[in-house]
Structure 1
């Protein structure tokens, strides 16, 4: 069973491949990132947090929508790849990279966007509850939380994506703002406290 407290599993993955999940080449991943970005209810954010950033593919996209992105991972090699990508794409000045797991203390300060993409099913139920509590505490009132996870069971993961999203849905303080689901992945968008719809925010309804 894989735990976010055991970076050795991930270090082994990156020792065998610079991009072990094919984030940079698979249409599945490109499509998922496009849907994630399209689901964000705001055109721009002040400060985002993306734990488990891996090689920085989604991080670079987020940097174009945010003044500042704080992104972390448990594997130094992945962070080096992310740093190189951010430089190549001209957004390195907007991103702060750090070596940390989800169970380490979160970065100080508030965020108006928290992106939990393909990371929560590495946590036990107890650690997931703790992490979601931290997420709500770190999120500004009216801020956005996005959860995106693979739906097929993976035997070595402590939880399934389906179980994770059920727990997120039951978390106090979060209001669902949108969702997308297909046979492969589940995407949920929440806000801390109720906020107007996108149309209402622009005076269209």
Structure 2
């Protein structure tokens, strides 16, 4: 990473730490406007076409066992590029995809129209999302650095763990080595165990895929 890029990333993170000084509701409102602005044009980060993103998606899926999984959650789905991969990789699962930007979700709906009967798109932020069910498999990629300072990160980590069904799998994907900081509350929680970690250092933007499992057996494995 170049010095200019490193400085830009540090300024980016500082901005979101400042936002987290607001109440959770105020922080969520500003993030919603921020991401709606970014999504004024389709695929603002080229997730659907960028070779790096495609390689990261493939590496993420490769770290997760085949299942079966009844319920899958993707937190921070943007326009549904990875969501589409999920519905195709797990044709028997119901997939819930969450994003704070309604503009992004409208495009995500088009992308996953092939599986509309088993896909639910929800406009919400990580800290306030509520669910009727617990999930066998939860993904959170490139999202935790947006929640800001430590207490919000701790809250977000507890939220993700709380969304897991017994035996459920949590997958966190974030830049490396920043992932050490972003995943630390999950690592220290004692509520889940880390079962694997893949670190890609050869990419122009290194990343880590950390996989955790909650104790117990999922409903899917119990009936399989």
Distance 2:55 2:127 in 1: 29
The aligned residue for residue 32 of structure 1 is 56
Distance 2:127 2:175 in 1: 21
Q: Does 1:74 align with 2:100?
A: yes
Q: Is the 8 A contact 2:72 2:137 kept in 1?
A: yes
Instruction: Name the SS for the 1:188 alignment partner.
Output: strand
Distance 1:194 1:179 in 2: 21
Q: Summarize deviations over 1:153-179 as a string: whole Å, max 9, x none.
A: xxxxxxx43310233222221111111
The aligned residue for residue 131 of structure 1 is 156
The aligned residue for residue 38 of structure 2 is 13
Q: Is the 8 A contact 1:175 1:194 kept in 2?
A: no
Shift of 1:194: 7.3
Cα gap change, 1:47/1:131 in structure 2, threshold over 3 Å: closer, same or farther?
Answer: same
* Bigger mean CA offset, 99-108 vs 20-29: 99-108
Distance 2:170 2:94 in 1: 16
The aligned residue for residue 191 of structure 1 is 213
Distance 1:105 1:74 in 2: 10
The aligned residue for residue 5 of structure 2 is none
Distance 1:56 1:93 in 2: 15
Shift of 1:144: 0.3
Q: TM-score, normalised by structure 2?
A: 0.76
Moved over 3 A (4+): none
Instruction: Name the SS for the 2:39 alignment partner.
Output: helix
Give unmatched runs, 5+ long, in structure 1: 153-159, 196-205
Cα gap change, 1:169/1:51 in structure 2, threshold over 3 Å: closer, same or farther?
Answer: same
Shift of 1:92: 2.0
Q: Is the 8 A contact 1:147 1:165 kept in 2?
A: yes
1:45 to 69, 74, 80: 69
The aligned residue for residue 110 of structure 1 is 134
